[in-house]
Every structure is written in structure tokens, then in C-alpha cells.
Amino acid sequence: MCGIVGYVGNDQVAPILLKGLAKLEYRGYDSAGVAVYDGTSIQVVKSKGRLKVLDEKIHGGADLSGTVGIGHTRWATHGKPSDLNAHPHSSESGRFAIVHNGVIENYLELKSFLAEQGCHFISETDTEVVAQLLDFNYHGDLLDAVITTLKKIRGSYAFGILCSDFPDRVIGVRKESPLIVGLGNGENFIASDIPAILERTRDIYRLQENEIAVIKADGVTVYNMEKQTVEKETCHIDWDISAAEKGGYDHFMAKEIMEQPKAVRDTISPRIKNGRIVLDHISLTREQIEKFNRILVVACGSAYHVGVVAKYIFERFTHIPVEVDVASEFRYRDPIIDKNVLVLVISQSGETADTLAALREAKRLGARTISIVNVVGSSIANESDDVLYTWAGPEIAVATTKAYSTQLAVIYLLAIYISEKIGVMSEADYQFYISELQSLPDKIAETLDSREHIHETAKQFYQKDDIFFIGRNIDYAMSLEGSLKLKEISYIHSEAYAAGELKHGTISLIENGTLVIALATQKRLFEKMMSNVKEVKARGATVLGVTTYGNQHIEKESDFVFYVPEICDMMLPSLAVLPLQIFAYYVAYLKGCDIDKPKNLAKSVTVE
């Protein structure tokens, strides 16, 4: 969601803030702003639109003098995108300036109270209320004012706070929204994500719930809500800074598509030792696994689509019934859960608000929880009983690619591991699937070699208004992600349907020239899929088929075909999704869309 950067040091702060915010543009935003203490007061400059508008407005930061400041890129939740609603927000006195990622749920109640005390508001945001409340609660002790304010508000937040009475420091606070502290030499930082500060430091703290960091040039002190100091463990970031750069590609998404062989290999290889799956420090015993009568997968967006694929995989491998829930609906359906339910929680960032809330609800009801996340030390990772990390490295493009692929890889590992533990899978099958899993990175690389053919095909369809995806069984599950990728970045209306449901309404939407992408990788369902292809062809559809090499029969029924290498049917989603990612990319590219930063979307959704 929103991007936050804060700096205290000896260098001019405005250029540092602008550069840090530029590294956070992938999070999605509609306005940007900075607040800098200039030696006398806090100067705030902000503007609607892309960061370059703000950059030009302050001439690359040259117009603002000072060495302490905070910056922000906003993804609107309260109030339309505008200069007034952009962050930072100030208190009426000008004493406080604040940037915020999250949502204050009781802001209307607080706003009404403050208005009765004589406060005047100029924006539509919940964040301005916090700035005014800080000023109202301030009586000379900054830390007391922050703690008193936090106790009055409900919701999720990461805050960066300036106070003109304490011009040597920035305050950082978090609850359910990520915030890190960067530790430099004579300078220190706050940020909502690592890339913002990676050029200046590789040593960080990850703030935990309701921790308050007081950032000064010569050091950082972290407090809890009782004003007690908290000892923090430094985390050293060892990935190459180039991992957060485009590396010669036109877009981060293109780069990340091509990084998938390495990302999947890095996720799989350390967990297969001497022909056996070793899952980090997972503490589940065979006796515990045998008591599970249900597996529940909870996630949002692309991670939810991984969960839909996981249902087929777990039920085939483990014979344990699986349900898949959209995390935003999970808490509100009164789920029936107890200690005999295993809940898998999937999130790229480990901070997704709805998924984190679902995890907490599952734990409250007594379930055993395992999270699949990419960010070490994230909230979901910390609060799960066990965690399996996807070693995907940083993913900058809003539309996920390698996070999806690495999450699938972890699903394969976990499903095979559980099935072997409870004696459902024979040793011969176990070794077969291990071999197939180990071959996956090379087959992903082979599939990516067809990207020029996919590019040429995309030229035929980038001006379409509607595109439909159909598939059966695990092909249907995977088509959900293909459809999402297309609509996310190209803004073409796209839907995915179970092919057998065509006759129950969907087929009425098919007309001359409608593109239907038909996934037919499952051999046992191939003939049925060809029947569905004939149905849409009879109504004028143009068909783009996706299948494995050797299935040339599809060419008799389809107008265009993407082929992928053969692998066991349960792992085919890892290959079949690749041409769909590439197709979506080139369609968006040909349309001239802002691929890495699609409109209205954010990378890490930290509000409900």
C-alpha cells in the first residue's frame, strides 16, 4: 500500500526522501509528499499524481533545506486523490507532521471530538485526525503524546512522525502495517519496505506490533506502550541491490518473469537432502498430521489462486479434504474450526491485512497454522505456528509472477511431505515426485524460451475488450491466475470459468471474434476440453489453446497454441501459468499500459 520513508542524519534529506520513495513506486499510489524540518519549522510539500510531479515541484529536493524529514506515496482510502488529501498531514499548529499507511477505523468519532475542541480540518483523510490528536495530547513529552494517541485510535497503521519541538528525531510506529528501521553510520531511517533504504544501509530492525522507534542520527531506541525499552535484533539484508533494479529489462515484471527458474530452484533445492524433503524447522509430528480431518487454505488475490490449485494437489496426494477461503470473507462466515484442522495461510508480503486477521481467527479457534510467505520476520510469519519461506527475493512489480510460482513450489513440497509422513504415498511415488520437482526449474526455463512466439500472438489480441479462460480440474484452478494477470495490467475484461459450466450461462457471452483461452494440459480430460472448444468455436470464438508438447491434436480445434514441457499433471500449473503471464505482459505492453504500477492497485494490501 502506501510508501513511507523517513531520515535523520547529516545530509540534505529531501533528495534522499525522493530517491527512497522512487524505490517504493511499485506499491501503487496516487499522490506523494514530503515534510522537512528546515531549522525553524516543518515544511510540507505534496502533490497529486506521480512522484515526478513532486520532484519537479521541489526541483529534486533543492527547494527544501534540512536533514530531518519524512516522505510518503499515498494509495487512497479516505478521500479522493488530491493535493489536500496527499500526505504528509499536519496539525493545525504546524507542530506535528505525519505520514500513515493503514486505516484508522474510529477516525470519525475522533474527528468529531476534536472539532468540538476547536480543531479545524482541511482534508477528507483519517490521517489528519491523527496529526491533530497528537497535538491535542502533547504536553511537552513527545513519547507520552504518541502513546496516549495510540491508545485512542483503532485500526491499522504504520506512522512516521515529525515534531518541531524535537527537530532531531523521527518517530516510527507500527500496528498491522509493515515498518522497518534502517541503521546507518551517522544516519538512520524508517521505511515501509527495504528497497527504499538499501542504497544507504543493509542493517535493519523490523518493528513489531505497537513498538515505537525514536530515530536520531546517532542511534535508535525502541519502546513498547509502557515506555519500556525493547531490545531489537539486527537483520542484515544480503540480497544484491540489483535484485531491486530492472537489470536492463523494460519492466520489473518482465525481469521477474525471467527470474522464476532461479526463484523456484532456490525454494526447492535447500529442502531436498539425500532424496528426502526436509522442511526447515516444521515441528509437525506424524501423530499430529494423522489427526487432521481437514486442511483449510486462506489467502487473497494470486495467493488465493495458489490455494485453489493446492486443493487439488493436497486432496490427490494426502486424501485429506481441503477448503479454500478468500481471507476477506473468512472471519465473517463463522468458520467451523478446531485443533484437528490445519490452516495454511499464504501471503507474499506476510503483512496482508485480511490474511493476517484470518490467521488470528484460526489460531483463536484452536487450529494448527502454517504460513507460506516471502518476507522473513513479517507479521504472518511471526504469528504462525510454523512458517515456510518462499525464497523468491524481492518482487517489485505489483502483478505477482515469481511469488505465485514459488508458493506453488512450497505447496508441492508440503503435500508430498505430508502424504509420505502419513503413509499415503508409496516410496516409488515419493521418489518419482521428488524427481519431477527437481526438474521443475529447468522446465520453467525451457517454457520461457517461447516468449517471442507469445509476443507475436499477443499482437493479434491486444485490442480485445473481453477475453475468457476455460479449463477443467487443475487447469481451471490455474486459469484463475491467468485471467487475473491479464485484467490487472492490461485492463481488459477477463474471466475464468470451469469449462463444464459453459452451458450454464457463460456461453451466451461468446460471439464472433471473442478470444477464449482454453487450458488443456490434463491428459485424462483432454477430450472433454476439446468438446468445450468445439462449443465455443461453433459460436464464433477464436481459440488459443494451452497444452503440453505432443498434444498436437489441439491444433485441429484451436487457432493458436502455446505448448509447455511435459511433467506430472499435478505440477503442470507451474508451467502452464508462464505463457499466460507472458501473454498478459505483452498485451499490456502493446497497449502502452503502466505495467509495473497498474492503476488502482497496490503491491501489499495492508488495509481491509
Which of the four pLDDT bands, split at 50, 70 and 90, describes residue 461? very high
CA atoms of 598 and 588, how far apart (whole Å): 10
Burial 144-160 (b: 16+ CB within 10 A, else e): ebbbbbbeebebbbbbb
Q: Is 607's pLDDT higher than 60?
A: no
State how far the alpha carbon of 590 is from the alpha carbons of 117, 457, 515, 580, in Å.
55, 11, 17, 15
Quick check: 165 and 142 in contact, CB under 8 A? Answer: yes
Which of the four pLDDT bands, split at 50, 70 and 90, describes residue 560? very high
Please state which of the ranges 162-166, 207-211, 348-352, 370-374 shows the lowest mean pLDDT.
348-352
For residue 343 the three cell numbers come to: 490452516
Q: Average pLDDT for residues 170-189, to the nearest whole number?
A: 94
Quick check: 606 and 403 in contact, CB under 8 A? Answer: no
State how far the alpha carbon of 313 is from the alpha carbons of 356, 475, 484, in Å.
24, 12, 21
> What's 3-238's CATH class?
alpha beta
Q: Average pLDDT for residues 552-570, to the nearest whole number?
A: 93
Q: Average pLDDT for residues 54-70, to the nearest whole number?
A: 95
Which of the four pLDDT bands, split at 50, 70 and 90, describes residue 408? very high
Q: Is 435's pLDDT higher than 60?
A: yes
Q: Environment class of residue 581 by beta-carbon count within 10 Å: exposed (0-12), middle (13-18) or buried (19+)?
A: buried
CA atoms of 359 and 350, how far apart (whole Å): 11
Which of the four pLDDT bands, split at 50, 70 and 90, describes residue 264? very high
The reported pTM is 0.80
Q: Is 358's pLDDT higher than 60?
A: yes
From the CB of residue 424, how many other CB atoms can be counted at a distance below 10 Å? Answer: 14
Q: Which of 1-5, 305-309, 535-539, 551-555 has the highest mean pLDDT?
A: 305-309
Quick check: 47 and 83 in contact, CB under 8 A? Answer: yes
CATH number among 1.10.3720.10, 2.60.40.10, 3.30.465.10, 3.40.50.10490, domain 451-594: 3.40.50.10490
Catalytic positions are 2, 603
Q: Which of 280-294, 305-319, 392-406 has the highest mean pLDDT?
A: 305-319
CA atoms of 80 and 162, how far apart (whole Å): 25
Residue 606: predicted pLDDT: 47
State how far the alpha carbon of 32 is from the alpha carbons of 3, 26, 35, 71, 599, in Å.
9, 13, 11, 8, 15
pLDDT digits 0-9 by tens, 411-428: 999 999 999 999 999 999
Which of the four pLDDT bands, split at 50, 70 and 90, describes residue 75? confident
Quick check: 124 and 193 in contact, CB under 8 A? Answer: no
So where are the chain's domains? Answer: 3-238, 241-449, 451-594
CA atoms of 325 and 358, how far apart (whole Å): 10
Write phi, then psi, for 426 (nearest 5 degrees). -70, 160
Please state which of the ranges 21-30, 185-194, 431-440 shows the lowest mean pLDDT.
21-30
- 3-state SS assignment for residue 361: helix
Please state which of the ranges 216-230, 377-391, 483-497, 577-591 shows the lowest mean pLDDT.
377-391
Same CATH fold assignment for domains 3-238 and 241-449: no
Q: Is 601's pLDDT higher than 70?
A: no
Q: Is 501's pLDDT higher than 90?
A: no
Quick check: 254 and 454 in contact, CB under 8 A? Answer: no
Peptide bond into 441 cis (omega under 30): no
Q: Average pLDDT for residues 546-554, to the nearest whole number?
A: 91
User: What residues pair up with 383 in beta bridges, in sequence order?
Assistant: none
Which of the four pLDDT bands, split at 50, 70 and 90, describes residue 528? very high
Please state which of the ranges 33-37, 74-78, 320-324 shows the lowest mean pLDDT.
74-78
Residues above pLDDT 90, as percent of the chain = 75
Which of the four pLDDT bands, split at 50, 70 and 90, describes residue 305? very high
Residues above pLDDT 70, as percent of the chain = 97
Query: Which CATH architecture describes the domain 241-449?
Result: 3-Layer(aba) Sandwich (3.40)
Q: Environment class of residue 459 by beta-carbon count within 10 Å: exposed (0-12), middle (13-18) or buried (19+)?
A: exposed
Residue 403: predicted pLDDT: 95
Q: Is 377's pLDDT higher than 80?
A: no
CA atoms of 38 and 68, how far apart (whole Å): 8
CA atoms of 142 and 16, how far apart (whole Å): 25
User: What residues pair up with 235 in beta bridges, in sequence order?
Assistant: 204
User: What residues pair up with 71 in beta bridges, in sequence order?
Assistant: 5, 34
- Tell me the three-class secondary structure of 254-312, residue by residue: HHHHHCHHHHHHHHHHHHEECCEECCCCCCCCHHHHHHCCEEEEEECHHHHHHHHHHHH
Residue 29: predicted pLDDT: 76
Residue 28: predicted pLDDT: 65
Q: Is 203's pLDDT higher than 90?
A: yes
- Tell me the three-class secondary structure of 81-131, residue by residue: CCCCCCCCEECCCCCEEEEEEEEECCHHHHHHHHHHCCCCCCCCCCHHHHH
